[in-house]
Structure 1
């Protein structure tokens, strides 16, 4: 054995060497921030601005956010007929066949399911008023700081730089975003919040993974402006519900509900950062 003193591990340096960085959008592996009980999946903008381009859902989920469509006790296991198999000389029932019992079979498979609580993104506008597409973003650099849990996203929208910092509170269900860009001053950047349907109604498992923007009648979203820099969204669905509180800094903010879409809202600030 060596008599030399063993040096300790520089844990910060070790972790810092392995911060992952994207310089283009990876449509199969977006970054996420969270705390083990609550998580937010972000696209290359640091928010959920281009969900239609990604091959995996951009969602916001929690450990407490579960829902059963049409109520918690619509069906019981006793409503199903198992398929019997011989297992070492004894008959064992498995619930693997939905034939002639489709409604109960698929409802029990799908419920309760984890809620997609919200989708929070940016609307970016070109100088001519057109929506900026994902493919138009350039000079992309997105880094997830594994030590601090901070996601920093930088890109150019046209000839205007945008910087976004995204993080999650370490012990509560809170997200924070810091956005810096001249697009805010120009009125060409909006924050958009949407609430997908809580209903899972597809029989194929793969079709139940994404966010459901149909079935608007299955849930309610009520927007309450509680102050100049605060708002509360009250969400109701069947026997369940939750609230989303939003607050922001900066002046001259306008919050509006997207008509005729009942579960989407957007807001715009006049300033260089928010």
Structure 2
């Protein structure tokens, strides 16, 4: 009888796994206000949980290739930035083919792609701040081959003077490092479960983020409702408390009425979960 031969994952494969897991964990997290989760499709009529899973899985080859490019080139510079841009656009086309044209994870490709490459450049460095700084240095480089047409998020960011996904990355993911991750760790210190800690992290991101998805759908009224409502949940004791759950349900209903889905915050929660996994990895990749 031959012994079972197990495939040892490469660094690039491990990082792609972590990125896809972060996307699936974000999608599964429930109850998220006005977002796709295990309860339903939130404020979206073209999305559902199965589609979010399929989209996340379709991006695995792109994340793997981004990590491989970082390993091969070995340094932050224009060649790597442009390689990431090309791979990201190819990954987006694979995503759209899987979802039949529905934009499920465009923002996440940008955020997680940068973080995957940043992790691959220095796998021995697990510090969140150092990881985000490497990603920011990549984001600040100009991809000469990027299409000139502005995405909805970029158009809204320009109209409202909001910080879009590009600027969030260029600044080193402050919504993650200053709000999401600290709240995740703070909530974990109480014995209320991982799901509640992740919900609190999402809400902490929402309290300050100028979410361009919300602005596109519901303008400043929607943004104000999101930020104030998320803060009210945390002030009431967070998602693990009865009062917090009541506020969370109120926020959900308010955002649904406004058709305001905080997709930008969801992408940053996935980034938060990815960074958290990198920090907590034991031993070498």
TM-score, length-normalised on structure 2?
0.29
Higher relative contact order (CA 8 A, sep 6+): 2
Decide which structure has greater strand share: 1
Decide which structure has greater helix share: 2
TM-score, length-normalised on structure 1?
0.29
